[in-house]
Amino acid sequence: MKLASNEVQKRFNRIVASWTSSSLRPFSISEDKELQDLIDFAQSTPGKLKLPSRQTNAREINLLADEIRGKIMKMLSGNCKSFSCTSDLWSSRTMNAFMAFTLHFLCEDFKKYNFTLDVKPTVGKHTGEMILHNMKQLLYEWNLREDNIVMLLRDSGSKPIP
């Protein structure tokens, strides 16, 4: 395929810079493979494409997440004999609290896997009981057995839990 003229490339670079800065994307977004795939697809289709609405985009992301979740569950059921978990708690600038859970394991061929299984909003004090309750719920949702946990790490944050 023929490359664009220098003038057109400069205009495109400016649009990418404007999008990057106004939406607080990292500079490295311009090296993102999925973004390049999106541009290549848009260039190869006949007719003008419109970006999907936020509702359509959210629906597609949820469908994609369900597909990926199913693939991860299948992988875990066949390959994950024991695992370690990490949890992290933090608050946003608006003081909304979240808890992330990440699973780490090795397959029999010693290939390492890490999956962030969930990021959940949390309410109330970040007590050990709350963390335990959410962890048990997560293990249940992902069909993981408690007795297969080798290690559990969590971030205690800047203040100790009373």
144: buried, middle or exposed (CB in 10 Å: 19+, 13-18, 0-12)? Answer: buried
Region 6-32: mean pLDDT is 92
- List b or e across 107-132, with b for residues whose CB sees 16 or more CB atoms inside 10 angstroms: eeeeeeeebebbeeebeeebeeebbe
pLDDT bin (cut points 50, 70, 90) of residue 156 is low
**pLDDT confidence of residue 81:** 84
**pLDDT confidence of residue 63:** 95
In terms of phi and psi (left: phi > 0; alpha: psi -120 to 50; beta: otherwise), the region of 155 is beta
* Of the candidates 131, 132, 52, the residue with the CA atom closest to the CA atom of residue 97: 131
* Percentages (nearest 5) of helix, strand, coil residues in the chain: 50, 20, 30
pLDDT bin (cut points 50, 70, 90) of residue 119 is very high
Range from 102-106, 139-143, 149-153 carrying the lowest mean pLDDT:
149-153
pLDDT bin (cut points 50, 70, 90) of residue 161 is very low
| Model confidence at 162: pLDDT above 50 | no
Domain ranges of the chain: 7-45, 56-154
Sign of the torsion formed by the C-alpha atoms of 18, 21, 25 and 26: positive
Q: What is the pLDDT of residues 25-75, one digit of tens each?
A: 899 999 999 999 999 999 899 999 999 999 999 999 999 999 999 999 998
pLDDT bin (cut points 50, 70, 90) of residue 1 is confident
Q: What is the DSSP letter of 36?
A: H
**pLDDT confidence of residue 158:** 53
Q: What is the pLDDT of residues 77-115, one digit of tens each?
A: 888 889 999 988 888 888 888 999 999 999 888 899 999
| Model confidence at 155: pLDDT above 80 | no
